[in-house]
Chains A and B, each alone.
Chain A
């Protein structure tokens, strides 16, 4: 009977933990770019993962969900007046593997309208292809392409001014 059930060695790897290992560090790194604060970046990344696990069976694209949630949390911080904070707090519990975060990315993203922020974050930072961004946002791929074009035009103009 055992043979019929194919007894094998136990593999304890679970999708959620694998997802965490794969995406936490880049997500937290992106958050740090957005809020210029290691501790806040950890808080936001952890909150995004917490919400993801709470909806684990309902989320079609976990990576898109993580970055969209993180973006909303980042916006909350911006709205709370955190945007002026540029000092970086080095927390003893974190391991900073990158150089001091540059504010340019944050300022560029912050300068975009909310609709364009989403496509930029999902396409460039979550590294999702256009079709995946479209599915995540429930819009047509052509709309994503147009939004990316508009976003790039705005960002290019902004870069040219600085």
Chain B
């Protein structure tokens, strides 16, 4: 016997049986369309930053995505630097394809010194990156002027993998379902054992730091560390388990963040915890600046990002809500290694927080939608579109003056590596062109 209620339920549930199978190649076309749209957006995003201490200690930084070989002007507001108020981004005269990197499309960058760096990206014809297109690691030993291909771990571009190197030999690519590690400068890759779900990873000065959840959906986040000499991740017992945002995805959204500078380490998890150590030995709990209420209403940040301008100078960004391309963003600065925080002026609401980097008084926030914003006066005023429509993405400081980034030209879909030696004012670019036109 059936009732009207039963009939309604049956009718509503009947859709479960109706399946429309995808046409051949549908997934690859969808991935390609998504990546072309992404390339068309001027999205500068900063991933991680490290500042060389006293100009001598090699630093590591990680970057994703790239941009143009055009000349651009970078306007500045009141600056802390004697550098000119505008500068250019110029392409080198050589635009011939690089063997093994023809139509290379870098997505992430990591430098261990001013000269030694690594890119992870895909090559022309493998975009859209599918499971069959694992990407290629490119290596430079001259500050990015020339690049040579190395091996690549078996991860696709779909999950926006990121690359981090702790030394010229040891590095990690992560962001997909499984992180991979190399111990020979990127020639060969192996699975990297992680005791749970990897939320965030940074590497610098022979050390690797990771924030790990017991499982992908867990809210508990624990800090792990490893060294190049003893690569297995080990729990940092001095830092208790922290509570992160439950569910969602991690990575660049900043559900959990690590900032490195010299030998100092700081971690920020959700709106719960902040821990810092000047030497990776003595840990102290600081204050998490992300507010738990806005306008009297309880809130939970969707994103929390952290960057270190020096061992004691930190910048935190807290993003609330993410709807219709708009997100409320609050930025806080600390000159006391996280003991006290001061609010900066609010950056524009357009776009969703993705990455942050900090130098001397300079902060760049990258948004996944809406481009990037930059301040050169410690957050007093913000300047949208700092690279004048150049799609620099995931830039970061190697030291107080050297900045590297990956970039892509939305019109030609040509990837490039970009670098600056004067604090992101003048840029030079190494493109990775195809012989004629790059295949989709």
As a 0/1 sequence over residues 89 to 113 of chain A, the CB contacts with chain B under 8 angstroms (1 = contact) are: 0000111111001001100100000
A23 to B208, CA, bound (A): 36
Determine if B12 and A124 form an interchain contact, defined as CB atoms under 8 angstroms apart. yes
Chain B: interface residue total (CB-CB under 8 A): 62
Determine if A29 and B253 form an interchain contact, defined as CB atoms under 8 angstroms apart. no
User: Is A82 an interface residue when CB atoms closer than 8 A count as contact?
Assistant: no
Which chain B residues in 146-161 approach chain A with CB under 8 Å?
A: 154-156, 158-160
A34 to B160, CA, bound (A): 33
Determine if B160 and A57 form an interchain contact, defined as CB atoms under 8 angstroms apart. yes
Count how many pairs of residues, one from A and one from B, have CB atoms less than 8 Å apart in the complex. 182
Q: Give the chain A neighbours of B252 by CB distance below 8 A.
A: 57
Residue from B7, B37, B160, B248 within 8 A of A159 (CB atoms)? B7
Residue from B16, B37, B132, B251 within 8 A of A26 (CB atoms)? B16
**Listed residue (A2, A53, A108) with the most chain B CB atoms within 10 angstroms of its CB:** A53
Residue from A8, A14, A57 within 8 A of B368 (CB atoms)? A57
In the complex, the chain B residue whose C-beta lies closest to that of A124 is B12
Which chain B residues in 355-381 approach chain A with CB under 8 Å?
A: 368
Determine if A5 and B231 form an interchain contact, defined as CB atoms under 8 angstroms apart. yes
As a 0/1 sequence over residues 1 to 22 of chain B, the CB contacts with chain A under 8 angstroms (1 = contact) are: 0001101100111111111111
Determine if A56 and B158 form an interchain contact, defined as CB atoms under 8 angstroms apart. yes
Stretch at the interface among B86-94, B187-195, B331-339, B414-422: B187-195
A28 to B30, CA, bound (A): 14
Q: Give the chain B neighbours of A104 by CB distance below 8 A.
A: 11
The size bracket of the interface on A is: 35 or more
User: Is B346 an interface residue when CB atoms closer than 8 A count as contact?
Assistant: no
In the complex, the chain A residue whose C-beta lies closest to that of B177 is A15
Determine if A105 and B11 form an interchain contact, defined as CB atoms under 8 angstroms apart. yes
User: Is A50 an interface residue when CB atoms closer than 8 A count as contact?
Assistant: yes
Determine if B177 and A41 form an interchain contact, defined as CB atoms under 8 angstroms apart. no
Q: Give the chain A neighbours of B192 by CB distance below 8 A.
A: 5-6
A2 to chain B, nearest CB (A): 6
A24 to B22, CA, bound (A): 7
Determine if B249 and A60 form an interchain contact, defined as CB atoms under 8 angstroms apart. yes
Residue from A6, A32, A101, A160 within 8 A of B193 (CB atoms)? A6
Residue from A1, A11, A17 within 8 A of B27 (CB atoms)? A17
Chain A contacts to B: CB under 8 angstroms: 1-2, 4-8, 10-17, 20, 24-26, 28-33, 38, 41-42, 45-46, 49-51, 53-61, 93-98, 101, 104-105, 108, 120, 124-125, 127, 135, 152, 155-156, 159-160
Given contacts A49-B30, A57-B160, 14 further A-B contacts (CB under 8 A): A4-B231, A5-B193, A11-B178, A12-B132, A20-B26, A25-B20, A25-B21, A51-B34, A60-B247, A104-B11, A108-B11, A135-B247, A155-B8, A156-B5
